[in-house]
Amino acid sequence: MKRSYRKGIIPSNIQIAPNIYEMKLATCDPGFGFKGKPGQFYMLRGWEAMDPFLARPISISDISNGVITFLYEVRGRGTHIFSKLKEGDVLELLGPLGAGFDLNVKGKVALISGGIGIAPLIYLMKRLGNNMDFYCGFRSVPYYTDRIEGKVNNIYITTEDGSVGHKGFVTELFIPEKYDTVITCGPTPMIKTVVEMCKEKNVPVYVSMENRMACGIGTCLGCAIETTSGMLRVCKEGPVFSGEEVIFDD
């Protein structure tokens, strides 16, 4: 199926924490609403000239009435440009892309996020329903935790500087054997630790990988990672993988 970039218009793009922004996008095409399931992502281009050349992958953080929400951290040139966009500005986006999370998980679920890895897990939390604990780790100022409170059994917040919640890493609070399924997204060292902890206790774990991407649609192979089934593309076979199959660098 041929896919092409669509235009989206911005109803709001606001800073919610240092370097962290929430951007909403409504469709510019009558009769079209944004779609996608938790774990899928869109390639976003907020610039008219081909500079920067590549669009940037950002996860779906929510979709409501066809309006899509993205939560993003300003890291470099692309996300800096996003942060300067204003209400009424138009950007181009392609998606939904990738294979999302399995929504048929049973039993007690732990969602574990590190930093901006909270973005896809918020949408997943909304779609999974109940019987979940949410562990979210931040460097300093937490964000989006107000959307979690009251929706899960327990929320565990950690900050590296101790400004809110437990001082330290989120993996210091996590007890894998309490859960039937664990789902995680965040920095690779955190994901790797969560996977090792789950493997040790034989608890199924799913990871959402955030590798650098070029095409986002499976053609350039730039995002491939090593797995027990060979090299797999994060943008096509992923970004969600079973933690057991990903081979992490030492």
**Residue 112's closest CA among 183, 63, 53?**
183
Q: What is the pattern of x (binds ligand FES, CB under 6 A) and - over residues 168-207?
A: ----------------------------------------
* Sequence-distant (≥ 6) Cβ neighbours of residue 102 within 8 angstroms: 206, 240
Torsion, Cα 46 49 51 56, to 10 degrees, reads: 30
Interface residue with ligand FES, options 222, 244, 245, 248 (CB under 6 A): 222
Cβ contact 172:158 at 8 Å: yes
Characterize the bridge pairing of strands 67-73 and 154-159.
Answer: unpaired
Report the site for ligand FAD in 77-106 (rule: CB under 6 A): 77-79
Q: Which is nearer to ligand FES, 45 or 233 (CB)?
A: 233
Note whether 213 binds ligand FES by CB under 6 A.
yes
Q: What is the pattern of x (binds ligand FAD, CB under 6 A) and - over residues 174-213?
A: ------------------------------------xxxx
* Sequence-distant (≥ 6) Cβ neighbours of residue 18 within 8 angstroms: 140, 141
Rule CB under 6 A: which residues touch ligand FAD? 41, 56-59, 71-73, 75-79, 116, 119, 210-213, 234, 239
Rule CB under 6 A: which residues touch ligand FES? 213-216, 218-223, 233, 235
